[in-house]
Structure 1
Amino acid sequence: MEPTAAAGTESVFTYGAPALKFGVGAAEEIGYDVAQLLGERAGARVLVVTDPGVRAAGHADAVAERLVAAGLDATVFDGVHVEPTDRSLEEAVAFARDGGPWDAVVAVGGGSAIDTAKAVDLLTTNDGDLMDYVNAPVGRARAPRNPLVPLVAVPTTTGTGSESTTICVLDVLDQHVKTGISHPRLRPTMAVVDPRLTLSQPAGVTAAAGMDILCHALESYTARPFTAGARKRPEDRVPYCGANPIADMWSERALAVLAGAFRTAVRHGDDLEAREQMALAATFAGMGFGNAGVHIPHANAYPIAGRVRGFHPTDYPSDEPMVPHGMAVALTAPEAFRFTFESSPERHLHAARLLAPASAYDASPGLLPQVLVDLMRDIDLPAGLGAVGYAESDVGDLVEGTMKQQRLLATAPREVTEDDIAGILRASMELW
C-alpha cells in the first residue's frame, strides 16, 4: 500500500543512533555491556578488531580481558590497516570467516578499526564479496539480506564518528578512489566512548581527526534540507536524509564544543578535560551527520586521499604515502563553503560565529572560510592541496574521483557540476 502523501513534497525525516555509554572509565564496563547484548550466554564468541598501534598501547587486550572476565570467548585480530583498503578489508574478512562464526564484533581503535569491523560483520553474516556491497558506480551497491551480529565500537581517536554511522569507508586500490559501503545495518549497536583512551593520540592525528569532526558538523548543518524533493517511498529512504531539526541540534552543539576545546587538545594532549570535550564533539557530530549526511568536502576528500603519491603526514605510523581522511576533508572545506554560502547564508554565518564568536559582526561569504583557515593554520595543517603534493595538472583526475561520490554530492545544498568542483579544487591549492 502506497503512503498517502507519496505524491507530495517530502515531509518525513529519519533518525538513528547507537546506544551510547560515555565517560572516563566507560571502557572498563565493556564485558558487562557485551554480555548483556548477548543475553549473558557463557562462552559466546566475540571478535575484537584493532590495529597494531592500538594493541601495542594495551587498549585492545584490556578490552579482550574484560570480555573474558564476563564469561565470553574473545579473539583479537590486530591486522587493521590505517585508512582501510579493499585489500586490507578482504584480509580481515578472510581471517574472520576462517575463525567464525562470531556472536558479536567489538572494534577498538579509530575509524579504520571501526570501519574494518563493519566490513567483517557484514561479510561474515552475508554472502558475496566486498565489491558486491561497495557504493555504485565503484561497486555493485547490494544491500545485505541477513541481519548482522551486534557490533560494539570503542573509539580511541576523536574524529571519524564511525561509531555512530552507517558508513564503512575504504580505498579501492585499482581505481585509485576512496569510497564506501552504506546501509543502516552497518550502524554499530553500541558506542562506548571513553575519553581516557584518546590521551595517547598525538598532535598531528588530533588535528586531522578534529577537522573531520568539524566538517561533519558543518556539512550536515549546511546540507540540503530533508524537505527538498518529492516524497519518498519507505524502501527508497537512505540514511543521509538531509539537514533536519534533530541533526541540526547535534551539529550546532558539536561546533560550540569544538570552539572551546580543539586548539587546546592539539597543543596540550594530556589535558583530559579538552580530550573529553573533543570526544563529546565527535559523538555529537556523528549523531548529526550520521543522519543528515555530508557533502562537497567529503566528496573531494575521497580522491585526494585515494590518489596521493608522496605525502607523509606528521604523527601517523604508516610508511606508505597518505593524506589522512580528516586532513583530506579539511583541505577543500574553506572553498567548498564559500561555494555553498548562497544556499543558506544564515546557516554559514551562524556556524562561523559558533566557532569564532569574535567574528559576529562580519556577514560576508568569506567569514566561514576565514574562520576555517585561521584554525587550520593554528593547528599546523598543510596550507592547501599543493602542500600535500597536488598541482593544477591533477585537477582533472581529482574532479573525476569527486564526481563518483554521487551519494555524497546528492546531499549538497547546491547542484554541483564538474566545473564547480574544478573551481573549488583550484582555489584550494594554496589557502594561505
Structure 2
Amino acid sequence: ALDEAGVEYDIFDDVMVEPTDVSFQTAIAFATDGGFDGFVAVGGGSVIDTAKAANLYSTWPADFLAYVTGPIGEGKAPPGPLKPLIAVPTTSGTGSETTGNAVLDFPEIGTKSAIAHRYLRPALGVIDPDNVRDLPPMITACSGLDVLCHALESFTAIRFDQRPKPAEPHLRTPYQGSNPVADIWSREAIRIGANCLVDAVKDPDATHARGHMLLASTLAGIGFGNAGVHLPHALSYPISRLSRGYFPPDYPTEHSLVPHGMSVVLTAPAIFRWTADAAPEAHREAAILLGASPHEVGVDNAGDAIANRFTDVMKAIGMPNGLNGVGITEDDLDALVRGTLSQQRLLVISPKEPTERDVRQLFADSMTLW
C-alpha cells in the first residue's frame, strides 16, 4: 500500500519481545538516522511501545532517562507533540494503540519502568480482527488475560476524587484513578473478556471471540489509559525479570520468558482478595461482570469471587499454577518486593496502599494458586 501511494519508507524489525532500555535505544538510533516524517507500528505491544519511544526521542532528543518515569528516570514531559504514529495491533492484549505509555525493562537493575505522556498516544489505531485470526493459543491466552487485568485494575482503582488535585489541569498525571468515564470502557471490556477469552484460546476457528477480544483490548486500553492500572501490574514487572528456564509455548524467543499477561495474572487472585475491602462495591460489580451470580456475591465475598473466576479461567487456558510454575520460589521474595516498590506510578493507583510486608505476603500467597 505504501509503494502504491508513492510513500518512501524503511523497515525496523529488530524489536525485542518485552523491550529493554537497550532495544529502545537501538530503535531510537534507527529513527534518528532515518529522519522520518511519521511512523507505522504493526505488531503487539512491544512493537507499538518501541515505535512510541523511537518517535519521542527522534522528535525531541534528550538523555535517555529524561522521559522515563521516576524513580528510575526524571519523568520529564516532552516539549511538544510528536510525529504521527499509526498503530496496527496484531495481538489482543496491551491496548497500546490507545495509550500514552511505553513500557520497558531495565535488566541491569532488575525492574521495569515506563515513559508516560499523552503525546505518545498514537494518532490512529487500526483495529482489524483479521490481524489476530491466526494468533497462537498461548499468545492469545496471555494477551487476553492482560486485557482482563487492565479492565479490572482500572475499574477497582482508587477513585479519582480521592487523589490529590493538581495545581493546574495540565499537571495531571497520566493515570487519574477510576472515574465514571473510564468505568464505561472497563465494564464492557470485562464483560467481553469473561464471555470470549476461553473460546478465543481453545477454538482457533472462533473468529467472533477473537475479534471481540481485540475490541476488548482497545476498550480496556481507553479505560486504563485514563484511570490507570495498579497492583497486578506493579507486581508483574519483577516477575518478568526473574523468569528462570521457563519457555512459554508459541513465543518466538530464545531466552526464558514470562509473558507480560502471564506475569500480571499470576498474582491477580491474591491481589483482588486483598483489595476488595477497600472498594467493595466496585469489586462486587466486577465479580458479576466476570460471571458470578448476583445472588451469591456480596461485598463481603467479592474478592474471593474474582479470584475464583480468575483461577477457573487460568486452568481452562493452560496458565502455570502460580509463581512456582514459572520457576520463582520463596527465595526470590526479597527481589520481588524490591522490584515492586519502585513502581510508584502504579502503587499510588491501588485502592489500598500496600506496605512492604503486604507486598511480600501477596507474592507468598501467589506461589501456588490451586
TM range (shorter): over 0.9
The 5 Å alignment of 1:11-410 reads 66-99=1-34, 101-233=35-167, 234-358=169-293, 360-363=295-298, 364=301, 365-410=303-348
Aligned in 2, Cα 1:112/1:360: closer, same or farther, shift over 3 Å?
farther
Give unpaired runs (5+ residues) of structure 1.
Answer: 1-65
Aligned in 2, Cα 1:229/1:95: closer, same or farther, shift over 3 Å?
closer
Q: 2-side partners of 1:253 and 1:407: how far apart?
A: 25
Partner SS, residue 83 of structure 2: coil
AA matched with 1:395: L
TM-superposed CA distance for 1:176, in Å, is: 1.4
AA matched with 1:301: S
Asked if the contact 2:287/2:297 (under 8 Å) is kept, the reply is no
TM-superposed CA distance for 1:208, in Å, is: 0.5
TM-superposed CA distance for 1:103, in Å, is: 1.1
TM-superposed CA distance for 1:360, in Å, is: 4.5
Q: 1-side partners of 2:242 and 2:25: how far apart?
A: 20
TM-superposed CA distance for 1:393, in Å, is: 1.3
Q: 1-side partners of 2:165 and 2:17: how far apart?
A: 40
Q: 2-side partners of 1:130 and 1:312: how far apart?
A: 31
Residue identity over aligned pairs, in percent, reads 48
Are positions 1:418 and 2:356 aligned together? yes
Aligned in 2, Cα 1:290/1:339: closer, same or farther, shift over 3 Å?
same
Asked if the contact 2:288/2:297 (under 8 Å) is kept, the reply is no
Give the TM-score of the pair, scaled to structure 2: 0.96
Asked if the contact 2:175/2:227 (under 8 Å) is kept, the reply is yes
Q: Deviation above 3 Å: which 4+ runs of structure 1?
A: 357-360
Give the TM-score of the pair, scaled to structure 1: 0.83
Q: 1-side partners of 2:76 and 2:166: how far apart?
A: 20
TM-superposed CA distance for 1:70, in Å, is: 2.4
Q: 2-side partners of 1:359 and 1:334: how far apart?
A: 19
Asked if the contact 1:121/1:148 (under 8 Å) is kept, the reply is yes
TM-superposed CA distance for 1:310, in Å, is: 2.0
AA matched with 1:378: A
Partner SS, residue 208 of structure 1: helix
Asked if the contact 1:221/1:251 (under 8 Å) is kept, the reply is yes
The alignment yields a C-alpha RMSD, in angstroms, of: 1.2
TM-superposed CA distance for 1:367, in Å, is: 1.0
TM-superposed CA distance for 1:241, in Å, is: 0.4
Deviations 1:73-113 (A, max 9, x none): 122111111111111111111111122x1111110000000
Asked if the contact 2:97/2:122 (under 8 Å) is kept, the reply is yes
Deviations 1:200-227 (A, max 9, x none): 2100001110010000000000000110
